[in-house]
Amino acid sequence: MKKVFTVIAAALVAITAAADEGMWLLPLLQKMNKKDLREAGCKLSPDEIYSINHSSLKDAIVQFGGGCTGEIISEEGLIVTNHHCGYSNIQALSTPEHNYLMDGYFALTRDKEIPCPGLSVTFLREMTDITAILAKEADDAAKEAKIKELIESAQKANPNCEVITEDFYNDNVKYLIVYKVFNDVRFVGAPPASVGKYGGETDNWMWPRHTGDFSMFRVYASPENEPAEYAEENIPYRPQRHLKISLKGVKENDYSMILGYPGRTQRFQTAAQLEQMVKENRVRIDVRTVRQDLMWEAMCADPKVQLMYASKYASSANGWKKWQGEELAFKKLDIIGREKAKEAAFMEWVNQDPARVEAYGGALDKISDAVKSVSEPDLALTLLTEAPFRIELITALSRYSNAVNSVLRKDPEAGKDVFVDAAKSLDGFYRDYVEPLDRKEAVALLSYYRDHADKTQYFDSLAVGFEDFASMDIPAYVDYLFDGSVFTSQEKLSAALEGEDYKEKITNDPANILYNAIIAKALLLYPSLYAAQTPLAEGSKAFAAGLLDWENGKASYPDANFTMRLTYGHVLPYSPKDAVYYQYFTTLEGVMEKEDPTNPEFIVPAKLKELFEARDYGRYADKKDGKIHTCFLTNNDITGGNSGSPVLNAKGELIGLAFDGNWESMSSDVMFEPDLQRCICVDIRYVLFLVEKLGGASNIIAELDFAK
């Protein structure tokens, strides 16, 4: 193990970076990327991007809500991120009377900024490589003790911060990371969904794009400028760093870089793992198609349902469409075939040296055997969780059961209050729940499950009269399920908990019986999945170490894992196929060309049309063509989690927000494609045009810091 660590340490120091590919670790920029950053066109030093001794660009970047990125753009804690990142929070704040999601909203004074319960933002303070420290420990127990010691020491040195450890390169490298989390975040503004989500799922992952994908929030802190729960006396956070904004726009080949929190990539996975991933995703695509069709039909038929299900549909459809694009890209680009060829070349290199054979020789076989052993149970679990477990009534049972059991595990003698409090925790669920729609979904999902699951995964008796799942009348069973369950509404559940027989009612509730049947089937699958974890982890760790050794001197970076990374490249067009060429930017003209008043995805607000017709663009018009540029392309290496990330120019000034990837690069989480992969960005000039001209929020514009 110490020999492997030495090889990895040497490889990380010797690497020469490639400008367009890579999600680079910030503490390694000085060693790995300094020269290449300068040659690519960056005017900043690595120390100006990441430093723990003074303010740097990283201090203006936040992880937004745990799944996106945002950036501070004023001295008073103003955050800009994507519209789709703030989507669920805006939807939760909206009502039919105050529909901020559909109508848009901008707080014209601070007292109109709206608290967002449960929303937090996280600042990175520092990252420290502790791999060498842990390598000195004798065994796993000693390593765990050392990790605990390091965390406690860092916690003491960084009050009001959270300290965690994170693995990189398939557990070959470990970092200690210090974060500061703020929980008082308030909604400041967003355009109407017809702008912020213009093009909907039709345009999702597509270019050309014309989406004004942004929303704004503000971080609040205690009077001492420290994290604090929501309180009226809290004040806007005074950041260590905020971004200046450039209105100069972009041109082809301009340097661009993105700082953010990319979620998950699979660039160290083997062909066996990728083949299994494709199978899993096909299951997800097929089941979600069934459910989403029903949701979309109901949303189009009723504006109230549209508001209630907007976030649910968007969340489901985003992955659904990406997986389809990924599947097509895998076939077109022969991703798995290319991975197999790489593995064959890797093994040829390994077999040339007995030491390499000992260290890495069995890695691929170990991974392949582990994947084969879990292939069927893994697909069965995927079908189970995507079909019957997606019935919303079962979601309610899951949340309720987890809330009750989390208390009972600590206090088995806890009384009725536990069950009552758990019911109160479902208030948000029922706020956006439509029982007739869920009934339709339940029939469709249970029918799909029966048609596609192995008979060994069929449910046992769910109710008297419905014993045989193979031949049961599913619509009749669903009526029995929903008619008899107290979990179909907050009122029914509260009434059931009033009597002394509340435990019996909950236990015998037909939804609870179905929920337990689903869990029982899942539990039967877990033993084989657990058994494969250790060999899979061991094989993956050895394979990653071998790749770093084999590719010593070449660009290498760890898979994305929701830690802050830098990617840098240039503003570029692309050509996806013969005779097709895509310009690197779009304009407001394209919004008007796509307008379709009969399609909810392509409705243009009347005021935006008025501004367009009057060419009332103010200082946000492009200096060269006089138009409003809506979006642009870069070849920056991004993935999910980068949504909302700042797109910066060579001086570190804000020029746009990253919000999507293009359709032709859907395999990019596995393999970077320099000729095809593009990051789709909303132009910051379009964002501010919408804030000032469409939203009338000159107060927001006044607090921004514009580059000269």
- Which residues carry out catalysis? 84, 213, 643
User: How crowded is residue 482: how many other Cβ atoms within 10 Å of its Cβ?
Assistant: 19
R_g over Cα of the chain:
26
Peptide bond before residue 208 is cis, with ω within 30 degrees of 0: yes
Spatial distance between the Cα atoms of 128 and 166, rounded to a whole number of angstroms: 10
φ, ψ (nearest 5 deg) of residue 480: -60, -40
Spatial distance between the Cα atoms of 319 and 297, rounded to a whole number of angstroms: 19
Tokens standing for residue 78: 């103003």
Match 């990371």 to its residue by tokens: 177
**In residues, how long is the chain?**
708
Contact partners, residue 666, CB within 8 Å, separation at least 6: 205, 322, 325, 326, 328, 329
CA 469 to chain centre: 36
Paired sense of beta strands 646-648 and 255-260, if any: antiparallel
188: nearest Cα among 73, 92, 109, 85: 109
Tokens standing for residue 444: 């469709």
Q: What is the DSSP letter of 545?
A: H
Half-sphere exposure (CA, 13 Å, Cβ side) for 420? 9
Strand (E) or helix (H) holding 339: helix 335-350
Tokens standing for residue 484: 């008899």
Spatial distance between the Cα atoms of 11 and 342, rounded to a whole number of angstroms: 19
Beta bridge partners of 656: 647, 683
Q: What is the DSSP letter of 240?
A: S
Q: What is the DSSP letter of 692?
A: I
653: nearest Cα among 76, 212, 248, 240: 248
Spatial distance between the Cα atoms of 576 and 558, rounded to a whole number of angstroms: 28
How far apart are the two ends of the chain, measured CA to CA in Å?
Answer: 53
User: How crowded is residue 53: how many other Cβ atoms within 10 Å of its Cβ?
Assistant: 7
**E-assigned strand segments in 537-688:** 565-570, 574-577, 580-582, 585-587, 629-634, 646-648, 654-661, 679-683
What is the DSSP secondary-structure string of 277-333?
Answer: HHHHHHHHHHHHHHHHHHHHHHHHH-HHHHHHHHHHHHHHHHHHHHHHHHHHHHHHH
Beta bridge partners of 260: 565
Spatial distance between the Cα atoms of 552 and 633, rounded to a whole number of angstroms: 32
375: nearest Cα among 276, 283, 453: 276
**Cβ-contact 263, 67 below 8 angstroms:** yes
Burial annotation 493-513 (CB, 10 A radius, 16+ → b, else e): beebbeeeebeebbeebbbbb
Spatial distance between the Cα atoms of 394 and 538, rounded to a whole number of angstroms: 36
Spatial distance between the Cα atoms of 171 and 131, rounded to a whole number of angstroms: 10
Tokens standing for residue 63: 């992880």
197: nearest Cα among 575, 549, 643, 540: 643
φ, ψ (nearest 5 deg) of residue 248: -75, -20
